[in-house]
Structure 1
Amino acid sequence: MSEINGVDVEYLKQLVETVKKHPELGRTLWRARSKWKDGFKVEVNIRDFTIRMDEPKDLGGTNTAPNMVEFVLGALGACLVVGYVMNAAIRGIELDKVEIDVEGDIDLPGFFGLESPEKVSPGFTNIRARVFLKTKKPVSKEELKELHETVVKTSPVGNTLMKPVNLEVKLEERRTV
């Protein structure tokens, strides 16, 4: 097993080769279930994991957990970290540190419905990420630039935020849970 950055590079290369030969295996479905608990508290179940969410006190919550838009920022940062680790490992670049700071702007009048969504977006209007990489051995600026461009271009969360995605939200008869 050849491991770089904590990643089994041979396994990863085999996975990529399998999807290359059989693209249908690369079409995946991901799920999450969200349940209201109380106030603005929400519990989200993803696979075998439970994640809590809440609003900060200044937005009427109890500040017991990050809120939903903070999870979006965290998901983007985490997705980029995984992208750097994976793509660096494939290139043989050993990383010593990867940190990403992400921040975004939301206009509350849009969220509160005080302005029409066409005029003021209820979601993020700008998101900024700053990437800090430290490699174990010197790497050329060109290699880092290529790594960076690949990661940004192939980030699933980044692409979901950058490009329109088909979203369908249906109201259905309530099931008993």
Structure 2
Amino acid sequence: MAFAEQGCKDPSRRGTNKVHTVCEGQYRTLSYVGKHDAVVVDEPPHLFGQDTAPAPGEIVLSALGGCLAVGITAVATWKQVKLSKLELFLEGDIGNPAAWGAGGAEMQPLQMGFQQIRVKVLVEGDATREQLDEIVRHANFYSPVANSMRNPIPFSIALAD
């Protein structure tokens, strides 16, 4: 509740997430986040990777699932609903006919990336189905990751100094 109160006092408040990604070889990368073990990313064999770790799009869906799960848990706690089960099943339709811009089909940004994402939530707790549905909808509405995916955001990329 103290965290929520801070947001009410200063709605313009922002945090900054930082990640350092290092290419280990071929399409395998290690992303370092704070003091945690590296998040490993690779591509499947049909995309010329070695399939040693999830693909980048799968990591994006993992981030979305994690964010939604945190939000659902927080909203349920706020509404004094005790959850006994929470599982999310995520699917995203993505293609790569542009071959990462390395000689594939000529495409525009809106044609690339996820074209549709579907999330099914299995949730149980001491509330009605309607109350649980409202908790899920509320968490989705306020999810930072879901909103980052839904809404255009300023994006810049440049060579490091």
TM-score by length of 1: 0.82
CA drift at 1:119: 7.8
Decide which of 147, 157, 160 is 1:169's aligned counterpart: 157
The runs of 4+ residues in structure 1 deviating greater than 4 Å are none
Contact 1:108/1:122, CA 8 A, preserved across alignment = yes
Could you say which residue in structure 2 is the equivalent of 1:7?
none
Structure 2: how far apart are the matches of 1:122 and 1:99?
28
Could you say which residue in structure 1 is the equivalent of 2:10?
22
Percent identity of paired positions between Structure 1 and Structure 2: 29
Decide which of 119, 122, 138 is 2:112's aligned counterpart: 122
SS at match of 2:122: strand
CA drift at 1:117: 2.7
Letter aligned with residue 42 of structure 1: T
Unaligned runs of 5+ in 2: none
Structure 2: how far apart are the matches of 1:106 and 1:46?
26
Structure 1: how far apart are the matches of 2:86 and 2:99?
33
Contact 1:105/1:124, CA 8 A, preserved across alignment = yes
Unaligned runs of 5+ in 1: 1-12
Contact 1:105/1:126, CA 8 A, preserved across alignment = yes
Letter aligned with residue 28 of structure 1: G
SS at match of 1:109: coil
Could you say which residue in structure 1 is the equivalent of 2:51?
63
Q: How does 1:14-163 map to 2 (within 5 A)?
A: 14-23=2-11, 26-49=13-36, 50-113=38-101, 114-118=104-108, 121-135=111-125, 137=126, 139-163=127-151
SS at match of 2:140: helix
Change (3 A) 1:148 1:120: closer
TM-score by length of 2: 0.90
Give the number of equivalent residue pairs: 158
SS at match of 2:121: strand
Q: CA RMSD in A?
A: 1.7
